[in-house]
Amino acid sequence: MQARIRGTCQKRMGTMGIDKTVVGISLGSSQRDHEAEIILSGTRVKIRRQGSDGSLARAKELLIDLDGQVDAIGLGGIDRWLVVDGERYAVRDAEMLAAAVKKTPVVDGRGFKEVFEPKVIRQLLAAGQIDSSQRVLMVSALDRFGMADAFYALGFPTIAGDLIFSAGLDLPIVSRRELVELARRLLPEVVKRPFAEFYPVGEAQETVPDQRFQRYFDQADIIAGDFHLIRRYLPPVLAGKIVVTNTTTSKDVENLKQRGVRLLVTTTPILSGRSFGTNVVEAAMVAVLGVGPDEPGWTHAVESFDMAFSQMDLNPA
């Protein structure tokens, strides 16, 4: 890969002992399993991701096995809560999984996304990497309200594709107000339904892209949000586009490069060719900081954390 990588998180390959261990249990494909070691605020953390191939039962077994054995657990491929405009909606499937863990902190990346991802958008704007006249397609905003809210607040014309890409309804959400109204009306019931009805889990993460909604990608300058949703609907050509996402592998990066993506920004750092899920990064932060995302010191701790997002110029202009 010829891409230029900037601002990755610090990584050390030494022989010193591991200070903390965190594991991300994901409903995603086990083909994406990986592990790495990182240094966070001087603490060496071993992080590992393990997929359950879409099986809630398998994920629950893995969680029970890990309970009390590691410093923190990330829940991936599913959101424990969707938080929109201050309202929190508990996802039933994820609550069931989290309830299986009695001793170890369980996080889903929400705390990281709420605090860190808006900061990424502000920094990209301040650095001139993006500008507020660019049209944004957020493939899903309900699971990344912090990022969506940053785009809205900074004046980016933003379309949220939650109904399109998660429910198959060809209705773009065209404003923050509309997004919040839809969340208030629909989420109380939606969160009770099986999560797999709205989000690709297991083998669904590896299927051939569905190109019914290509025009929304064509109309956007910036494509942002969950990578599995982006990948599921990925059009053949994305010339000159900016993609802001995470959980990409080196194969995904090559795929985006071949389609003409100009700049790939991953909000989590790239380690061993992959950007980790927000849940795993958040679990590492919880393990190191000793503070959880619902505790008062969380926002300050995350904002002051020495962690950089990644930028890759895949097809420089």
Spatial contact of 122 and 311, defined as CB atoms under 8 Å apart: no
Q: Does 160 bind another protein (CB under 8 A)?
A: no
The reply on whether position 171 binds another protein by CB under 8 A is yes
CB of 29 to another protein, least distance (A): 25
Q: Is the Cβ of residue 88 or residue 184 nearer to another protein in the bound state?
A: 184
Closest-CA residue to 242 (of 304, 311, 295): 311
User: How many chain residues bind another protein (CB under 8 A)?
Assistant: 16
Q: Which amino acid is at 47?
A: I
User: What does the block give as tokens for 304?
Assistant: 């002051």
Is residue 188 within the footprint of another protein (CB under 8 A)?
Answer: yes
Q: Can residue 182 be called a binding residue for another protein (CB under 8 A)?
A: yes
Tell me the C-alpha distance between 168 and 216, whole Å: 13
Strands 274-275 vs 263-266: parallel, antiparallel or unpaired: unpaired
Angle at 218 between CA 212 and CA 219, to 5 degrees: 115
Residues forming beta bridges with residue 73, ordered by sequence position: 23, 106
Residue number, 216 or 298, with CB nearest to another protein: 216
The reply on whether position 170 binds another protein by CB under 8 A is yes
Contacts of 94 (CB under 8 A, 6+ apart): 75, 78, 79, 80, 81, 108, 195
Q: What are phi and psi of 75, to 5 degrees?
A: -110, 115
| Residue range at the interface with another protein (CB under 8 A); choices 72-80, 184-192, 220-228, 273-281 | 184-192
Q: Which two tokens stand for residue 14?
A: 């030494």
Comparison of 4 and 215: residue with beta carbon closer to another protein:
215
In three-state secondary structure terms, 150 is: helix
CB of 197 to another protein, least distance (A): 8
Q: Does 185 bind another protein (CB under 8 A)?
A: yes
Q: Does 90 interact with another protein (rule: CB under 8 A)?
A: no
Cβ proximity to another protein: between 12 and 184 the closer is 184
The pattern of x and - marking residues 262 through 281 that bind another protein according to CB under 8 A reads --------------------
CB of 158 to another protein, least distance (A): 16
Determine, following the binding rule CB under 8 A, whether residue 167 of this chain makes contact with another protein: yes
CA atoms within 13 A on the CB side of 94: 26
Q: Which residues bind another protein (CB under 8 A)?
A: 163, 167-172, 181-182, 184-186, 188-190, 193
